[in-house]
Structure 1
């Protein structure tokens, strides 16, 4: 299948393009910045570029992972988010329908589920987050535009019959967190596999699963995160004393973490539940907190990639125009 992959030079794209090719697909990469997996330099917001790519490359399916993200809020105007995340998605959906496609995979984000109230973590229990959570009140322009793009996918399924898979990915970025500084680096990422993170390799694998299953499912919205060991009944204890809860599920975790010089989270304020993806999409992340602990037992590197100073290709090349 000839697949158009947007955001092909980005962090996900650099892992996803090779996996698509390994699965036998022909990949056409589209990005505003050059990269090893990018064939066409251009923006999803430019309809002429999209129409040309579809016509010249005979595109058969789309994985739309290109977007402006939360860190871009300080770099780009609000209109840029509307142009790229909303209008860009519309351009691709319209082109896919015109080409007679039967599948469209959209990379969304769990960030759009996090309101200001959840972000402040003022409650006395962890918030249990699954696909049924409502109402959704995104706290910034990134979340607002990604939610709008999700609604476009749903609309095109309902009105045009295009099978659309919406993947709300948890964290998989490699750089340092721009809001949480303690603990740092790999320690924080390892902790987040308990409740809100997946590896980039698992994120890529999930997109392949969605591409395969889209015609059968028709439309679906799925949270993607490493499977949590916790259950909703743990919510209050997780907020009050996360170490005690973690130790109940993983008795040797404190000692293993001490061996590596890491610290466990003392409080957890949210948990992403990814069971729907497992039950309906047939996808389960291969890496989780258990594999973190096993890596410590084995004296191996943790299953998360940490690149503290990672910067997206469009920023590295001094991009002056948005995607």
Structure 2
């Protein structure tokens, strides 16, 4: 299949493009920045760029992974998020429908489920987040525009018969968190495999599975995260003393963490539940918290990427698409 993959110079695209080729697909990469996997330099916000890509490369399906992201809020105006995340998605959906495509995969984010109250962790129990979570009230322009793009996907599935799969991916970025500084980057990432992270390799695999299952499903939205060891019955205890809950599931975790000078989470305010993706897409992340502990026991490299110096390629000032 000839696939148009947006965001190929970003973190996900670098892993997803080779995985798609290994599956027998021809990948036409589109990104605002040059990269090893990018054939077309341009913005999805530019309808002419999208139409030219379809016309010149006989595109048969789309995986739309390019976007402006949360860290870009301090660098780019609100209008840029609307142009890229909303109008750019519409341009791709329109072209796919006109070409008679039978599948479209959209990379969304778990951020669309995070309200101000969930972010502040004001409740007495961890929030259990899955596809039924709502009402949705994203707390910033990134989440707002991604949720709007999800809505466009649903409209095109309903009105044009274009099978659209929306993947709300958990965290998989390699750089430091831009809001939390009280833990080392590797320690924080390891902790997040309990409730809100996956590897970039697993994120790529989820897209491959979604591409294959889209025609049979028709339209669907899925949380994509490493499987959590917890159950909803743990929600109150996770909010009160998460370290004790972790030790109950993994008795040697405190000792392994102490040996490395790390800290287990004192509280966990949210848990992502990806079981629907396992049922419908056949996707289950290979790397989970148990894998992290096994690497610590054996002395093997940690099974996730951590790169404090990572940064997306700089943008040309007159273009409006960002990739991760």
Specify the alignment match of 1:213 in structure 2.
213
| In 2, Cα distance between equivalents of 1:177 and 1:84 | 23
In the comparison of the two structures, how many residue pairs are matched? 321
C-alpha deviation, 1:314, in angstroms = 3.1
Specify the alignment match of 1:276 in structure 2.
276
Distance 1:198 1:319, change over 3 A: farther
1:189 aligns with 2:189: yes
1:321 aligns with 2:319: yes
Specify the alignment match of 2:226 in structure 1.
226
Q: Secondary structure at the match of 2:314?
A: helix
Specify the alignment match of 1:258 in structure 2.
258
| In 2, Cα distance between equivalents of 1:59 and 1:8 | 16
| In 2, Cα distance between equivalents of 1:200 and 1:190 | 14
Specify the alignment match of 2:139 in structure 1.
139
| In 2, Cα distance between equivalents of 1:269 and 1:174 | 22
Deviation digits for residues 53-108 of structure 1 (CA, Å, limit 9, x no counterpart): 00000000000000000000001100000000000000000000111100000000
Q: Which has the higher contact order (CA 8 A, sep 6+)?
A: 2
User: Contact between 1:76 and 1:322, CA under 8 Å: does it hold in 2?
Assistant: no
Matched ranges for 1:165-204 at <5 A = 165-204=165-204
The root-mean-square deviation of aligned C-alpha atoms, in Å, is 0.9
Q: Secondary structure at the match of 1:283?
A: coil
Q: Which moved more, 1:258-267 or 1:223-232?
A: 258-267
| In 1, Cα distance between equivalents of 2:220 and 2:182 | 35
C-alpha deviation, 1:313, in angstroms = 1.2
1:287 aligns with 2:297: no
| In 2, Cα distance between equivalents of 1:184 and 1:299 | 19
Specify the alignment match of 1:7 in structure 2.
7
| In 2, Cα distance between equivalents of 1:322 and 1:91 | 14
Distance 1:319 1:252, change over 3 A: farther
Specify the alignment match of 1:298 in structure 2.
298
| In 2, Cα distance between equivalents of 1:321 and 1:209 | 31
| In 2, Cα distance between equivalents of 1:167 and 1:184 | 28
User: Contact between 1:13 and 1:65, CA under 8 Å: does it hold in 2?
Assistant: yes
Query: Given the two structures, how large is their TM-score scaled by the length of structure 2?
Result: 0.98
Structure 2: state its 5+ residue gaps: none
> Which contiguous aligned blocks of 4+ residues in structure 1 show a shift greater than 3 angstroms?
318-321
Specify the alignment match of 2:21 in structure 1.
21
Specify the alignment match of 2:45 in structure 1.
45
Specify the alignment match of 1:85 in structure 2.
85
User: Contact between 1:247 and 1:253, CA under 8 Å: does it hold in 2?
Assistant: yes
C-alpha deviation, 1:319, in angstroms = 4.5
C-alpha deviation, 1:153, in angstroms = 0.3
Q: Secondary structure at the match of 1:4?
A: strand
